[in-house]
Each structure stands twice: as C-alpha cells, then as structure tokens.
Amino acid sequence: MEALASGEEVVVACTQESRLFQEVAVQSDASTGVPLRFVNIRETAGWSKEARQATPKIAALLALARLPVPEPVPTVSYQSSGHVLVVGPVDAAEQAAALLADALDVTVFGVGTGSNGAAQERRYPSLAGKWNGLTGWLGKFELSWTPDNPIDLDLCTRCNACLAVCPEGAIGLDYQIDMARCGSHRDCVKACGAAGAIDFQRTAQPQRATFDLVLDLRATPAFNQHALPQGYFHAGPHGRTDLTSALMGLRTLVGEFEKPKFFQYKQKLCAHSRNEQTGCNACIEVCSAAAISSERDQQRIVVNPNLCVGCGACTTVCPSGALAFAYPNASEQGVRIKTMLATFARAGGKQPALLLHSLEAGVRIIGDLGRAARLDASVHGVPARVLPMALWHTASVGMELWLSALAYGASQVWVLVTGEEAPQYRAAVQEQMDVAQALLGGLGYQGQHLRLLHVRDARDLAALDADLQAAPADTVARGASFAIQADKRATLELALDHLVAHAPQQPQVIALPASGSPLGTVVVNKDTCTLCLSCVNACPAGALQDNTLAPELKFIEKNCVQCGLCVRTCPEKALSLVPRFNLAQQRREAVVLNAMQPYACIRCSKPFGTLKAIESMLGKLAGHAMFQGAAADRLKMCSDCRVIDIYSSDNEVRIDQIR
C-alpha cells in the first residue's frame, strides 16, 4: 500500500500471486494511475542450483521490468456479428451447428452425408454444391461455390419422398443427387410436388456469400498455411484443434476486436522488384500466414495486416530493412537488451547469455525448468548467467540485434523454439545464425555464440537443462555504447564495426554462407559485360553506380543487400553474387568494377556508348535487312547525328524526285 501511495511505478517480483496483488491494488484508492508490473525471478533465478550467484541476474530482470511499455502503433480492427459457416459432412456439420445456434447465426455447407446423414428437420440455412474456395479473415470470409445439383436445399423439406421413389438410389441423405447414377426417370420431380425443390433444368451459376467465422470439419482444410486466419477453425480429422476448443473459441469471437499493426514497410528500400524483374522474395517465402504477396508491376510487396500474425519473420529475413517490426520496434528492443546487459555487468555479472523466448510456450517451459530444479536434485535450472527475455515471437529478432547484443558484451545469444513456430521460421532463424556465426568465427571469436534451442514440452527439459550449461563463448574486450537504430542496415554496420574493432583476428575477407547473407559483393564477367548499365537502374540500394564522365560501372560493397536484381536484370548474364564480409576500408567506397573505351560518333566524334556495346550491336544486326548501307552507318552515330542524317537523306530523296 505504501508503494502504491507513492505514486511511482511498482514492480512486483512475483508472478504467482499477481492476481492477489492486482486485487489489492484495485481496492486501494492510492493505486489510481499507478503502473503495476510483475517479473518472475523465482523460476528464472531463485529456483536454480546457482541461486546464490543470481543477484546480477535479478537486478537485470528488475531493470527490464521497469522499462516503459512500447509506444502505441496503429491498430487493425475486426468486426464480427457471429455469422458462422459450418462446413463438413452433413451429420457432423448439423450436430456442431446445434451446439452453436444458441449464440451464433449458423449456416451449414454439407460435403457428403457422413455416417448418419442429415437430420429430418432442417433447422439451419443449408448450402451445397461444388466448393470453389474460401478466402478472408475474421469478420470477412468469402465463400465461393456453385450449386450444381438439381435439389435446392433452401426449398427442400427433407420429407424423403424423392429418396423413396428413386429407382437407382441416386439421392443420398445429404439430399443431393448423384448424377452418375441418376437414370433420368424424374420420378423425384413428381414426388417433390408442391415444394418444387428439384429442377433438372436449373443453370448452375457461381455464388458468393460472406461470413464472420468458419468451422471446418473436413479432413482437408480450406487454408494450407501454417498460421490460419483468425476466425477460422479446422476441427476435422487431423485438424489443428479439437472440436470442443473450436466451439468454445467461436463463441468468444463476436464483437469488435483490435490488434497492433505489427509491421512497417518502406517501399523505397524494398529489393523485391525492379523493371519487372523479381529479386528478393525472402519475406513472401517465409510468411506462414500467406499475408505477403507480390505486386511486381508496382515494384513492391503488399502485406495484408488482417492476415499478419505478428511473427516478425519477414523483418528478420529482409536484407534491406524495408520491412521492420513495429511492436515493439527495433530501438525499443535494443533498449531492453542494452538495459539487461548493462545492469547485469554493473551488478558484477560475467559472460551473460541472452535467452530469447516466446511469451507463451517459452515462458511456460522456463517456468517448468525452474520448478523441476526445485524438486529434482539432478536438474540444474536456469544458470545465473542466463538472462531470459520474452519476445512477442522468437522470429521477430534477427542478426543485427543478435550481433548488437554480443557487441554490448553478451557471451551468447540463444533462441528457444518450442514447436509453436512454423518450420520455415526455424529454418530462417538458423540460416541467419549461420551467417552471423561465420562472421564471428572469421573475426577470431572462439565458441558458439548463436544457437537455436529446440524444446517441445516437459519431456525435453533434461536436454534444455544440459544446453543451458554450455560453456561461455568469447566476449568483446569492451562493451559497445551505440544505440540500436531504426534503420536495420545502420544497426548492422554499428555492431560489425564494434566487433571488428575488438576482434582477435583481422582477416581481409570473410566468406559467408551462400543462403541468407545480407552482405557480399558483385563479380563482373568483363568478357561478356557490355557496360549497358541496366544493373545500375535495377539496384535498389545504390550499390551499383555509373560515372557520368566515363563508361564505368562502380560498386559500393557496404550498400549491397545481395538481392540479385542486378543478376536477373543483366541481359548478358555477366554478373554474379559472392556473399562475404570485406573488412577493408574500400567496402565503403565506390570502386570501379568495369571500364571500357568509349565509342565515338562517326559524324561528330562525340562519345555516346562503349566500343564493346556498339560492336556487339553491329554484329547482331549485320545480317538484318533493315540495317544495311546508310541505316547501318546510323547505328554508329550518336542520337543527335542519327536524326540529322535521317532528315538530310529524306531531303536528298525529295530533291531527286523534283528533278
């Protein structure tokens, strides 16, 4: 009460009794407007064999808890009135509909009869026919189908008269006609009588309908991406969730909902497309929610904020920083990392390892490990030098922040993956770690600084316990003081500069893995390059440049993001990428990759191209009927002289005609 009365922010070093503390705060008049935060130091520090050495870690965790919450960002809104589509075998779909009908507006799309067939009483709007597709998200799902069956389920009363008279048994208990078995007797039409639900002359027209929610009971889901759209539940055989959980989840999704817009996109930095050529596709390939698509004609990617689940993997693999994680942003994450490591060091801690984990499964597993250490003498628990830090998603932090943490003085950066991540996320993070580890190894830092720790559940606690006991790797002699920048490339350069300055070794060049490297050079085949400079126009990062005074191709290696647009644009296939890190100062300077002798206009002697390019063009057009005689000579002229020569020739022809 006294702490609340002070009016200052209150940090409670206990998460188990958070509900009790919150109730006390609510009952206290002095708590109005006082931030109340909780931090777990019991499972993460106290319940460990190294609890007596955990004071620096506890200080770091408390300092982290006192940091301000991330700045607010734009939000994405969803509105759901509870109109749910239940799709699956008719009997199962109608049973599920009955369990939802008291709270939601239900429509059933029958796909086959199931084991029992449809109920005799039609209690819900029913659809059937050829399933064309389902798109959308919570509050805005769109179903496309074609009612290609003679029986209109909206008119059908389920009297079973048609089933009784059909001699082939072509009508099932889903009240749809199997046209392959139908003998065209049309006895069913007569039996249907006044209801008029059966019409063999009806033209099948594609239909569309919108729904707020979808419960899919089929074996094959409507969406195949790892992260399903919010509001869609697949509870069929081999489904992502069980039926009970799906039914309970659907009931909670009525109303208006908001989530942060997790990303920021800067098109001018994007290396996806130029001149109708595709370069970097990393974000599209890694997205598990199918939220990112290409607009190549607009030279950009498009992120659907309604489908985005905020994993941040796209920002991790983006080489240029065009996509950035917004909640929290890179600068805020940098402050968190720097605060933890600096506080740990001031309190006397040595060789800290930063353990990045998710807010849900990661927190649960670390808690399980702490409790196991308290109960089982063979379990060590979270070591005193290991600093856990929760992330919205483990894929949201990448190489520039890992290397910054190491530059600040961390011995290692570990990322805890728990099985909740999409497979491509784990692959992408590992790929980035391989690049960063190659950089550190090339600089002479000994040990494994970066590692993925794979844990699924409590069965893997022993392996995690062993992994956390790993020996420290080399640390920098002096921690860095720079701040994490909003610009990804700027942060990467700051981290690399510090690591290079204190590196045990100073090689000229460090070779990097071929996949995933945002650093490297471009190699030019001078035998095939004509210096057309189309690559300069294609480069989104300003790494390739021309010279306005001479036919030269220049290159600034520091700017290159290895997107490959120059390689795909080059008409002569003269360029190739080489992933590497060049420690020489020249990587920051424009160096000449290729230079050629200029070609002089045969009429005015002004240089207008390269000798190689013009000779190549003349060779390719030598046998063309349109480029013979004077026309061939014009190819050797600059643009001005070419026009003058054409008009001069036309005048001579007209004078000859007058004569």
Q: How is the chain split into domains, by residue range?
A: 39-70+328-501, 80-257, 261-325, 519-595, 598-658
* Residue 141 reports pLDDT greater than 80: yes
Give me the DSSP letters along 85-126.
Answer: EEEESHHHHHHHHHHHTTTSEEEEEE-S-TTT---SS--S-E
* Residue 566 reports pLDDT greater than 50: yes
**CATH architecture designation of domain 261-325:** 2-Layer Sandwich (3.30)
Compute the distance between CA of residue 112 and CA of residue 89 in angstroms, rounded to an integer: 5
Residue 567's closest CA among 523, 600, 626? 523
Percentage, residues of the chain above pLDDT 70: 93
CA dihedral 219, 221, 226, 231 (to 10 degrees): -120
* Residue 32 reports pLDDT greater than 70: no
The DSSP output letter for 397 is: -
pLDDT digits (tens, 9 = 90+) for 76-118: 999 999 999 999 998 899 999 999 999 999 999 988 776 666 6
Indicate the pairing of strand 323-325 with strand 353-358. unpaired
pLDDT digits (tens, 9 = 90+) for 365-423: 999 999 999 999 999 999 999 999 999 999 999 999 999 999 999 999 999 999 889 99
* Fold match between domain 261-325 and domain 519-595: yes
Q: What is the pLDDT of residue 86?
A: 97
pTM of the model: 0.86
Say which residue the tokens 């510090």 belong to: 498
483 or 164, greater pLDDT: 483
Residue 513's closest CA among 437, 584, 451, 443? 437
* Residue 44 reports pLDDT greater than 90: no
442 or 66, greater pLDDT: 442
> Can you tell me the mean pLDDT for 14-42?
69
Q: What is the pLDDT of residue 550?
A: 84
Report residue 137's pLDDT band, with 50, 70 and 90 as the boundaries. very high
Compute the distance between CA of residue 659 and CA of residue 653 in angstroms, rounded to an integer: 10
Q: What is the pLDDT of residue 639?
A: 87
Indicate the pairing of strand 130-135 with strand 36-38. unpaired
Alpha-helical segments (H) within 472-621:
488-501, 534-538, 565-569, 611-621
Q: What is the pLDDT of residue 652?
A: 55
* Residue 24 reports pLDDT greater than 80: no
SS3 543: coil
pLDDT digits (tens, 9 = 90+) for 47-83: 899 999 999 999 999 999 999 888 899 999 999 999 9
Signed CA dihedral, 534, 535, 541, 546: sign only: negative
Q: What is the pLDDT of residue 405?
A: 98
**DSSP-assigned beta bridge partners for residue 546:** 553
Q: What is the pLDDT of residue 626?
A: 84
Q: What is the pLDDT of residue 569?
A: 95
Please classify residue 473 by burial: count the beta carbons closer than 10 Å to its beta carbon, then call 0-12 exposed, 13-18 middle and 19+ buried.
Answer: buried
| Radius of gyration, CA atoms only, the chain | 34
Report residue 126's pLDDT band, with 50, 70 and 90 as the boundaries. confident
Q: What is the pLDDT of residue 275?
A: 83
pLDDT digits (tens, 9 = 90+) for 293-334: 999 888 899 999 999 999 999 999 999 999 999 999 999 999
SS3 13: coil
Mean pLDDT of the chain: 90
Query: Hey, what are 348's tokens?
Result: 């006397």
Please classify residue 66 by burial: count the beta carbons closer than 10 Å to its beta carbon, then call 0-12 exposed, 13-18 middle and 19+ buried.
Answer: middle
Compute the distance between CA of residue 54 and CA of residue 546 in angstroms, rounded to an integer: 58
Q: What is the pLDDT of residue 549?
A: 82
> Can you tell me the mean pLDDT for 532-541?
93
Least confident of 324-333, 526-535, 556-565: 526-535
* Residue 6 reports pLDDT greater than 80: no
297 or 35, greater pLDDT: 297
Report residue 17's pLDDT band, with 50, 70 and 90 as the boundaries. low
Top-confidence range, 62-66, 90-94, 555-559, 633-637: 555-559
The long-range contacts involving 469-474, CB below 8 angstroms and separated by at least 24 positions, are: 469/380, 469/383, 470/353, 470/412, 471/447, 472/351, 472/353, 472/385, 472/411, 472/412, 472/447, 473/411, 473/412, 473/445, 473/446, 473/447, 473/448, 473/449, 474/411, 474/445, 474/446, 474/447, 474/449, 474/504
* Residue 650 reports pLDDT greater than 70: no
Say which residue the tokens 């808890």 belong to: 65
Say which residue the tokens 């059937």 belong to: 128
The DSSP output letter for 252 is: T
* Residue 194 reports pLDDT greater than 80: no
Compute the distance between CA of residue 104 and CA of residue 84 in angstroms, rounded to an integer: 7
Q: What is the pLDDT of residue 658?
A: 41
Alpha-helical segments (H) within 288-387:
313-317, 330-346, 361-375
Which class does domain 519-595 fall in?
alpha beta
Residue 422's closest CA among 399, 401, 395, 455? 395
pLDDT digits (tens, 9 = 90+) for 589-626: 999 999 988 888 988 988 887 878 888 888 888 888 88
* Helix axes 330-346 and 488-501, enclosed angle (nearest 10): 30
Residue 101 corresponds to which amino acid? A
Q: What is the pLDDT of residue 657?
A: 45
Report residue 166's pLDDT band, with 50, 70 and 90 as the boundaries. very high
